[in-house]
């Protein structure tokens, strides 16, 4: 194992300290319990949008804390859910009297711990709503979830709801919007090679030189099947076809297409894949109105990619275009 670390037990804390120094105009990081918050939190009168999950998926979630997106993020240890006290601390640090919306990826530990935190926050007198995202069409159940996993669609949900909260939409409105996004977004990914969790010291799984894992999750969970590697056209189609089977889109429908790298895939390959996905969508008459390409929801240094498709309407398009200023996403500011 070759990694730029000192000690596997301190890698998350040391990384967050470096992140806080690099982006001190945008965020603050507190420890014990560990929470990443907006530098200007709490924002008066604003619904707090909070998310989190295991480290190793950077820039998700801490990289999306800032104006127009998240008010706070709770990072757990690598591929490990944050604890309820972290989430409770995030609610306390961002509470401005308008309530909090928790965005939770559908992994069993995340769901349980965020639900516990919501109960604790309610006992503190804060109104809290929880929305679970489950956009991965690859599997029904896995070792980590009951039902579908939350993956690349999480970023799109955080951006859209974060923009609404920034505009002053109330908690009911933010929750309704979040649930609408969950119903309109689908994802699927593949791996060419696994990442290595620092404290494990070896890859999460092994593939032969001519194999890929189709339908992986962001922790390297098994996918739908292991298959022989094909051309880029074939691999992109193997991701896009199941997405479109699960969310039938009609000629003229508008979408946002997010081509995501899993941490070890160069941009030259991601852009190549994105171009193929756009062509395949155009052949079906589907209009790609917005795009995002890059390693935004990663799995350490896993080689691979995922595609996420969000069906757009005028409101979602407007909220996507709204100003955002975070460490990892920024436009319109």
Question: Closest Cα partner for 48 from 118, 123, 132?
Answer: 118
The Cα 324–Cα 50 span in angstroms is: 16
β-bridge partners, 303: 193
Residue 57 among the catalytic residues: yes
- C-alpha atoms less than 13 angstroms from C-alpha of 37 in its C-beta half-sphere: 23
Render the burial of 107-141: b for 16+ CB within 10 Å, e for the rest: bebbbebbbebbebbeeeebbbbbbbbbbbbbbee
Backbone angles phi, psi at 4, to 5 degrees: -90, 80
The Cα 52–Cα 72 span in angstroms is: 8
DSSP 9: G
The Cα 227–Cα 210 span in angstroms is: 8
The Cα 126–Cα 98 span in angstroms is: 8
Locus of tokens 């999750």 = 217
The Cα 115–Cα 138 span in angstroms is: 25
Residue 219 among the catalytic residues: yes
Q: Which of 23, 61, 77, 219 is catalytic?
A: 219
Q: Which of 23, 57, 77, 274 is catalytic?
A: 57
The Cα 22–Cα 248 span in angstroms is: 43
Residues designated as active site: 57, 219
């Amino acid at each position: 194992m070759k990694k730029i670390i000192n000690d596997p037990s301190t890698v998350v804390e040391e990384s967050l300290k470096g992140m806080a120094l690099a982006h001190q105009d945008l965020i603050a990081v507190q420890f014990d319990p560990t929470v990443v918050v907006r530098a200007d939190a709490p924002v008066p009168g604003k619904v707090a949008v909070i998310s989190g999950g295991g480290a190793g998926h950077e820039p998700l979630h801490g990289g999306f804390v800032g104006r127009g997106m998240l008010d706070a993020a709770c990072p757990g240890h690598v591929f490990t859910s944050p604890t309820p006290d972290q989430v409770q601390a995030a609610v306390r640090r961002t509470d401005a009297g308008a309530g909090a919306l928790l965005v939770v990826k559908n992994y069993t530990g995340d769901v349980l711990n965020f639900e516990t935190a919501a109960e604790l926050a309610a006992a503190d007198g804060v109104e809290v709503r929880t929305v679970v995202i489950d956009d991965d069409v690859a599997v029904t159940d896995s070792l980590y979830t009951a039902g579908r996993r939350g993956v690349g669609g999480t970023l799109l949900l955080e951006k859209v709801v974060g923009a609404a909260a920034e505009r002053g939409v109330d908690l009911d409105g933010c929750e309704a919007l979040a649930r609408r996004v969950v119903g309109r977004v689908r994802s699927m990914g593949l791996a060419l090679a696994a990442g290595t969790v620092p404290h494990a010291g070896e890859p999460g799984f092994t593939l032969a030189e001519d194999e890929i894992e189709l339908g992986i999750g962001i922790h390297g969970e098994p996918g739908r099947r292991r298959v022989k590697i094909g051309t880029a056209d074939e691999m992109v189609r193997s991701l896009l076809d199941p997405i479109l089977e699960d969310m039938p889109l009609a000629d003229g429908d508008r979408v946002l297409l997010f081509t995501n790298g899993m941490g070890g895939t160069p941009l030259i390959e991601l852009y190549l894949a994105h171009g193929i996905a756009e062509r395949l969508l155009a052949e079906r008459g589907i209009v790609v109105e917005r795009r995002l390409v890059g390693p935004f929801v990663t799995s350490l240094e896993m080689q691979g990619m995922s595609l996420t498709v969000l069906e757009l309407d005028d409101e979602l398009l407007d909220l996507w275009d709204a100003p955002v200023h975070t460490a990892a996403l920024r436009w319109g500011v």
